[in-house]
Copies of this chain bind each other. A is one copy, B any other.
Amino acid sequence: MSDRGTGRGRRVRLGDIAADLGLSTATVSLALRDSPLVAEDTRVRVKAHAEARGYIYNRYAASLRTARTDMIGVAVHDIQNPYFAEIFRSLEDELGQEKQVVLICNHRDDVARQRQFIDALLQHRVDGIVLCASVGTKADEIVRLTQAGVPVTLICREVEGVPAPVVRGDDYAGGYAATKHLIESGHRRIAMVGGRRQTSVGQDRNRGWREALSDAGIDPDSQIDIPELMTRDEGYEIVPKLLEADSAPSAVVAFNDLIALGLLDGLRRAGRTLAITGYDDINAAAKQAPSLTSVNNSAAQIGRIAADLILKQIAGDTTDDQRILIEPKLMIRESSM
């Protein structure tokens, strides 16, 4: 589509429209932005001609020429999770080099809180938004950003129908690998603990666990599956329930490292051990006693790629709504032995 009507094999530029109509580039730009500084009939004429020539109007790039705020908003559900801290660090490092300030929002999986943040950022025309979308986020919520010309990149969680690139780990593969490792270590009663099942992350890791069990001839529905838990506290507190279950597990696939660490604390308190795997491979995982088997989920890489995608969009490049899946790596340590 980039050369429709030009016959010159390149994208139509603002200057082409201006030359055709004998107007300045500034006038054309203002007309396309519906500026009252340009007479109504000129605006109509410019728009009609731009459409005829197949000019793709990048409203955001236009605003760039007038104003940049050098602010990037980043919203996640739990800033306290060290996994996100690692993502923030790499985002801040990359964006800081471009003199972008990172504004963080802790939406706590509350759509209203997320909306308030997005509204404020829209109003102040931030240069871009990196979003790990709240549970319950509808595509519309994000489409209104992209329609306003604000670059968006999703991280970690996918939201169907959103016209924006996504960078995340392959949660299905990670859930499968952790479960397969426990099966190969001889476990047959393997619980899954945690994960918000309304998110792609919660769904995909759970599906990985289910399919690894099925592939080994174990019925996942005969196993303990406890959804929704997310924090270390919740991991700690669920231990009695696991130990007292009718068919108590000998191993647990924890949704994330926080839950895994809470489980280890709770088991120590109870004087018991189970084989445990975590997910995210936060810094602390390797430094526990026992050290924690975990799925490395490439926080720094996700932060870097997200920064890169946002900067590209700010520069006016298209990112083609890419879906970048990062292959996870299982880090086998003491906790699953």
Interface residues of A (CB under 8 A from B): 69-71, 73, 79-80, 82, 85, 88-89, 92, 96, 99, 101-106, 108, 113, 116-117, 119-120, 123-124, 232-233, 236-237, 262, 265-266, 268-269, 283-284, 287-289
Contact = CB atoms under 8 A, between A and B. Distances in A.
A229 to B, nearest CB: 14
A287 B82 CA distance: 19
Contacts of A88: 79, 106
B233 A284 contact: yes
B124 A236 contact: no
A265 B236 contact: no
Name, among A71, A96, A99, the residue most crowded by chain B CB atoms within 10 Å (CB to CB): A71
Name, among A108, A116, A233, the residue most crowded by chain B CB atoms within 10 Å (CB to CB): A116
Contacts of A80: 79-80, 82, 85
21 contacts: A70-B120, A73-B103, A79-B80, A79-B104, A80-B82, A80-B85, A88-B106, A92-B106, A92-B113, A96-B113, A96-B116, A99-B116, A101-B116, A101-B117, A101-B120, A103-B120, A104-B104, A104-B106, A265-B287, A265-B289, A266-B287
Given A79-B79, A99-B116, A287 B233 contact: yes
Copies of this polypeptide in the complex:
2
Contacts of A82: 80
Contacts of A287: 232-233, 236-237, 262, 265-266
Given A105-B103, A233-B287, A69 B269 contact: no
A252 to B, nearest CB: 17
A288 B85 CA distance: 22
B284 A124 contact: no
A12 to B, nearest CB: 35
Given A85-B80, A236-B287, A265-B288, A103 B103 contact: yes
Contacts of A283: 233
Contacts of A89: 108
A71 B120 contact: yes
- Per CB-CB distance, the 3 closest pairs between chain A and chain B, nearest first, are A269-B289, A80-B85, A104-B104
Given A79-B104, A92-B106, A265-B287, A69 B124 contact: yes
Contacts of A284: 232-233
A291 to B, nearest CB: 9
Contacts of A233: 283-284, 287
A217 to B, nearest CB: 36
Nearest to A270: B289
Given A71-B120, A80-B82, A233-B287, 4 more contacts: A92-B113, A96-B113, A99-B116, A101-B105
Contacts of A92: 106, 108, 113
Contacts of A120: 69-71, 101, 103
